[in-house]
Chain A
Amino acid sequence: MTDPALEVINLKKAFGGLAVTQDVSLVVRPGERRLIIGPNGAGKTTLFNQISGDLRPNSGQIRLFGADITGLPPYRRAHCGLSRTYQIITLFAGDTIQHNVSLALLGLRPSRWQIWLPMSHYRDIAVEARQALDAVGLLHLADRSISDIAYGERRRVELAIALAQRPRVLLLDEPLAGLSNAERTTVKSLIASIPRETTLVMIEHDMDTALDLAETVTLLNYGRVIVDGKRDAVIADERTREVYLGT
């Protein structure tokens, strides 16, 4: 059997006396589409921050394709094929959209250390960046600054940045947050078109849209995994209704 794409084993994290992740274990198979749901404060983003390395867990282990990455800093995890987007849009506001995506490409190349030649020297980065923008339908805005474009378009730039790196595991933190209905449909079909080589783990509140994208669902509450399994089984589960759907 092949190693899971992402494995979280008995993860624990507490801020002072507040336990935000309590004994969380997850197994995500390669190519899987996993949705993580739970009420506000359930510890979803905290879990993501531990997986991406922004936060260190108190104990437990995180494995990426069998390799232990628990102690690695975020940038090393990126080189292992892990990529993420942020709930709060985190872009380079003064730069062009193409430059934003180019940075994502540069991050995985040795040329990021190169102090002689300008970015414009790397034609391949420019070409790939424009391809990534084309894939999310923003090629026509490539030379505009982030501060010039609309919120919904910024969400798509977030996605383009993550996808440009061709990650093996992609963490999407509320990719639909704050979007209009039309934009939701666009972004949803974008996420649906992500190739299977990329394993997806997604936090999303918009259940109508997100459930269509998911195959498996994990329900978190108070930092614990409440239910975990196939989508329909989790939705039908009594505990899900109790915690999340509120009936």
Chain B
Amino acid sequence: MRWITAALIGGSLLLPPFFAGDFYINLASQILIAAIFALSLNLLVGFGGMTSLGHASYLGVAAYISALLTNRYGFGHGAAAIISISGTVAMAGFFGVIALRATGLGFLMITLALSQVLWGLAYRMSNVTNGDNGITGLTRPAPFGISLENPVSFYWFALIVATMAFVMMTIFVTSAFGSSLMGVRDQARRMAALGFNPWLIRWITFVYAGFWGGISGLLYVYYHKYIHPTSLSITSSAEALLGVIAGGSGTLGGPAVGAALVLLLKNYASAYIERWNMLLGLVFLFIVLVMPTGIAPGFSRLVAKMRGERIDDRSRA
């Protein structure tokens, strides 16, 4: 059942370039980027029990570094990407040391505060970041000489990166380390008594999530060819968190579904309804009431019920 679902989703991801127009292909590319971002946040929220409200930091900083290096300092895309990801990972390492002094609400507040600092810098340090005007006139890379300027080739590029991200993060959480991580999420004290170092396990996960957040940031800036301080804002972090929770935190694929939903409401429904935020609120309310554990677990439960199977609360979609 699980494999059929996976195959169906995987197959449908291959379709857009053959059927859809540019508008929808671009929408699909943006969904893939948002999905990587949400999946990386899910490592913290769902598998690590660390609810962060500052994950936009990694997306934004990676995007800004790449934008500045290519646009202002004349770096090539390859070098810029490597420096940008290394810088983002180093920052995640540093932020992790600060934020992991606390757990629960304290952790959430620290991640929020740190991301607000970066947001403020992006706004105010206008001699570097160009402030509220953002950085314009960026280009997309051309890996192996293949231009990514047209929507279809960019979609393939985003799909390859997203697939790698999904596979790598799935391996991470299903590994022995992933078991350690979920153990620390559920019973940190017990895990320490069993010989695990909870702090280090959380920190490694924090840095790994920062890495994939950075990757999504690179794709984000490549796609938009523009970067603005809003990508570092609390709204950006909160939308991702909403996607994770709506899709099903702690499930492998759920956050990608949730991220797609948020993005569609934001970019598609907003064309028809001015108050798309209100619609997002209603949809979220509906999900919380009807499928409190998220869309993905909700649907697998629904399918199980229709097939008359015993309902497994721990089903991972």
| Interface pair B175/A118, CB less than 8 Å apart | yes
Looking at B12-20, B179-187, B229-237, B280-288, the stretch in contact with chain A turns out to be B179-187
| Interface pair A75/B197, CB less than 8 Å apart | yes
Given A94-B314, A106-B180, A107-B191, also A115-B197 (CB < 8 A): no
Chain A residue with minimal CB distance to B250?
A94
What would 11 more interface pairs be, CB under 8 Å, given A78-B195, A86-B190, A103-B179?
Answer: A92-B190, A93-B186, A94-B314, A103-B183, A106-B179, A111-B176, A114-B175, A115-B171, A116-B175, A119-B175, A122-B176
Question: Restricting to B175-221, which residues have a CB under 8 Å from any CB of A?
Answer: 175-180, 182-183, 186-187, 189-198
A84 to B54 Cα, complex, angstroms: 37
Interface residues of A (CB under 8 A from B): 52-54, 73-75, 78-79, 83-84, 86, 90-95, 99, 102-104, 106-108, 111-119, 121-122, 145, 161, 165
Q: In the complex, what residues of B have CB within 8 A of residue A90's CB?
A: 187, 189-190
Q: In the complex, what residues of B have CB within 8 A of residue A104's CB?
A: 194
Cβ-neighbour of A114 out of B176, B182, B187 (below 8 A): B176
Chain A residue with minimal CB distance to B172?
A115
A107 to B180 Cα, complex, angstroms: 8
Cβ of B252 to closest chain A Cβ, rounded Å: 13
A54 to B313 Cα, complex, angstroms: 32
Cβ-neighbour of A116 out of B171, B189, B195 (below 8 A): B171
29 A–B pairs (Cβ distance < 8 Å), ordered by A: A54-B189, A54-B192, A73-B192, A73-B197, A75-B192, A75-B197, A78-B195, A91-B190, A92-B183, A92-B190, A102-B179, A103-B183, A103-B194, A106-B176, A106-B179, A107-B191, A107-B194, A112-B176, A112-B180, A112-B195, A112-B196, A113-B176, A114-B175, A115-B171, A115-B176, A115-B177, A119-B176, A145-B314, A165-B195
Chain B residue with minimal CB distance to A52?
B193
Given A90-B190, A103-B191, A145-B314, also A117-B176 (CB < 8 A): yes
| Central interface residue in B176, B178, B180, by most chain A CB within 10 Å | B176
| Interface pair B192/A74, CB less than 8 Å apart | yes
Cβ of B200 to closest chain A Cβ, rounded Å: 9
Q: In the complex, what residues of A have CB within 8 A of residue B183's CB?
A: 92, 103
Cβ of A203 to closest chain B Cβ, rounded Å: 15
Closest CB pairs A-B (n = 5): A107-B195, A78-B195, A107-B194, A74-B192, A115-B177
A90 to B177 Cα, complex, angstroms: 20
Q: In the complex, what residues of A have CB within 8 A of residue B313's CB?
A: 94
Given A91-B187, A94-B314, also A74-B193 (CB < 8 A): yes
Q: In the complex, what residues of B have CB within 8 A of residue A52's CB?
A: 193
Cβ of B40 to closest chain A Cβ, rounded Å: 15
| Interface pair A165/B194, CB less than 8 Å apart | yes
Chain A residue with minimal CB distance to B179?
A119
Cβ of A112 to closest chain B Cβ, rounded Å: 5
A49 to B282 Cα, complex, angstroms: 48
| B174 contacts A by Cβ under 8 Å | yes
| Interface pair A78/B176, CB less than 8 Å apart | no
A121 to B175 Cα, complex, angstroms: 9
| Interface pair A114/B186, CB less than 8 Å apart | no
A5 to B191 Cα, complex, angstroms: 23
Cβ of A194 to closest chain B Cβ, rounded Å: 18
| Central interface residue in A92, A93, A102, by most chain B CB within 10 Å | A92
| Interface pair A99/B194, CB less than 8 Å apart | no
Against A, the Cβ 8 Å flags (1 = close, 0 = not) of B153-181 are 00000000000000000011011111110
| Central interface residue in B172, B177, B313, by most chain A CB within 10 Å | B177
Chain A residue with minimal CB distance to B180?
A112
| Interface pair A94/B195, CB less than 8 Å apart | no
A230 to B166 Cα, complex, angstroms: 61
Cβ of B44 to closest chain A Cβ, rounded Å: 16
Q: In the complex, what residues of A have CB within 8 A of residue B198's CB?
A: 75
Q: In the complex, what residues of A have CB within 8 A of residue B180's CB?
A: 103, 106-107, 112-113
A92 to B189 Cα, complex, angstroms: 12
| Interface pair A112/B177, CB less than 8 Å apart | yes
Q: In the complex, what residues of B have CB within 8 A of residue A165's CB?
A: 194-195
Given A90-B187, A91-B187, A103-B183, also A115-B175 (CB < 8 A): yes
Q: In the complex, what residues of A have CB within 8 A of residue B189's CB?
A: 54, 74, 90
